[in-house]
Amino acid sequence: MTESPRSAPNPRRRSERSRRAILSAALELCSENGYGRVTIEGIAARAGVSKKTIYRWWATKGAVLLEAVIEAVVSTSPLPDTGDVDTDLVTHVTSVMRVFTSPVIGPAYTGILSELLHDEALARAVNEELVGPRVALVHERLRAGQRQGQLPPDADLELAVEMLYGPLYYRHALKRPFHDPDRIASLVAHVMRALRAPSPS
Amino acid sequence: MTESPRSAPNPRRRSERSRRAILSAALELCSENGYGRVTIEGIAARAGVSKKTIYRWWATKGAVLLEAVIEAVVSTSPLPDTGDVDTDLVTHVTSVMRVFTSPVIGPAYTGILSELLHDEALARAVNEELVGPRVALVHERLRAGQRQGQLPPDADLELAVEMLYGPLYYRHALKRPFHDPDRIASLVAHVMRALRAPSPS
């Protein structure tokens, strides 16, 4: 009762430390052994926590790996606003290219993309928790470009996102990911030209 | 020795009949039960052939399903040459959209795309036997458009293919495939505008 609050263990902080250890362990194991061989037991052993601790927060290994991928993607592929929408999209899409080829994040996201094709709940989670918020960021950046007169007010922003991300997913799906930032710069330039060219109708 | 060649059984034709029965059975089972539950045993039973017959021609169920998908894709998504490259690409890409959503071909190609992410041999086969020849057709059609002055001679045809197919693979990968032919027409129009717009450099 006389103990100072400062010296009491902070359960939130301790949980956060476990959470980070679990997410790192999951990515490491996926990178080392492949998504198919990752188990909750293995993650628990590597992270130094009990299986019960993991199951308290996540229902499946897919959910653990999705959270790990989301944190890694958010921190490694920002969408800056320097005032030049073309430059900012090149920065962003190039960093997304690097997500697909990253030895740490790539294998986990590849495994998730393979599994979600026959797992509706995982597909929903990927769309709602990862892709949806990322797409919203791109839309926001494109709308700022519209406000600054860098893009026409009637540009089809949904299609813009599909044309920017599409080729990366296409090449990843066929195991021929982009490696060359010049190709990404060229892709972005093409998409921006498409959005700016007058519609023939 | 006196038997007429006409009345002799034709082993080539008989093989072709078995081959078609096997490919149809494989697609049907995949559509009914999902890729994961398809087995060589099941295909043999449905097609009325022995497992040995299947293994004489294919090493894995993935190889059977890939051949079935290739035949179905080739017959359902042609690339016409009417003289108008924009119209022909809309026709082609719309038919590719229908491949992804087809209740017959879709589940098989989805299963193949899931499996190839952790199967190098299948990935190579998909690229060499399915995607490569399709991409070559699109390139050929785009080059004809260039010869007819409908596209600039320096248009980036590789990127054109990536922008045309990319959004379809992106949306398929996230289980949100295109269903609306108008979106495909809009996609093709954007890609053609990108290829025609003068490069700023």
The full DSSP string for B51-73 is HHHHHHH-SSHHHHHHHHHHHHH
* Strand, helix or coil for residue B104: coil
Backbone φ/ψ region at B155: left (φ over 0), alpha (ψ -120 to 50), beta: beta
Q: Chain B residue with minimal CA distance to A120?
A: B175
Other Cβ atoms within 10 Å of A47 Cβ, number: 22
For residue B162, give the nearest of A120, A123, A167 by CB distance.
A167
Exposure b/e, B154-182, CB count within 10 A at least 16 = b: ebbbebbbbbbbbbbbbbbbbbebbeeee
Mutate to test the interface with A, among B163, B168, B180 (most CBs of A within 10 A): B163
8 Å CB contact between B113 and B172: yes
Select from 3.40.630.30, 1.10.10.10, 1.10.3720.10, 1.10.10.60 the CATH code of A9-63.
1.10.10.60
| Mean pLDDT, rounded, for A48-56 | 96
Contacting residues of A for B194, CB less than 8 Å apart = 190-191, 193-194, 197
* CB contact (8 A) between residue B167 and residue A176: no
* A81 pLDDT more than 50: yes
Band of the pLDDT at A198, cuts 50, 70, 90? confident
Confidence (pLDDT) at B66: 98
* Domain A66-196 indexed as CATH 2.40.100.10: no
* CB contact (8 A) between residue B193 and residue A191: no
Contacting residues of A for B197, CB less than 8 Å apart = 193-194, 196-197
B166 CB within 8 Å of a chain A CB: yes
Backbone φ/ψ region at A83: left (φ over 0), alpha (ψ -120 to 50), beta: left
Q: What percent of chain A has a predicted confidence (pLDDT) above 90?
A: 90
* Strand, helix or coil for residue A75: helix
What is the predicted ipTM? 0.92
Q: Give residues with Cβ within 8 angstroms of B40, minimum separation 6.
A: B51, B54, B55, B61, B64
Select from 3.30.2350.10, 1.10.357.10, 3.40.50.720, 1.10.3720.10 the CATH code of B65-196.
1.10.357.10
Helix (H) or strand (E) holding B186: helix B181-196
Report the alpha-carbon distance of residue B61 to residue B48 in Å, rounded: 16
Confidence (pLDDT) at B200: 62
Architecture of domain B7-61: Orthogonal Bundle (1.10)
Q: Dump pLDDT digits (tens) for A130-159.
A: 999 999 999 999 999 999 999 999 999 999
Half-sphere exposure of residue A119: CA atoms within 13 angstroms, side-chain side: 17
For residue A194, give the nearest of B114, B117, B194 by CB distance.
B194
Q: Which two tokens stand for residue A35?
A: 């998504």
A21 CB within 8 Å of a chain B CB: no
Q: What is the DSSP letter of A128?
A: I
Residue range(s) occupied by CATH 1.10.10.60 in chain B: 7-61
Report the alpha-carbon distance of residue B102 to residue A172 in Å, rounded: 22
A6 CB within 8 Å of a chain B CB: no
Band of the pLDDT at A3, cuts 50, 70, 90? very low
A169 CB within 8 Å of a chain B CB: yes
Residue range(s) occupied by CATH 1.10.10.60 in chain A: 9-63
A179 CB within 8 Å of a chain B CB: no
- The residue ranges of chain B whose pLDDT is under 70 are 1-14, 200-201
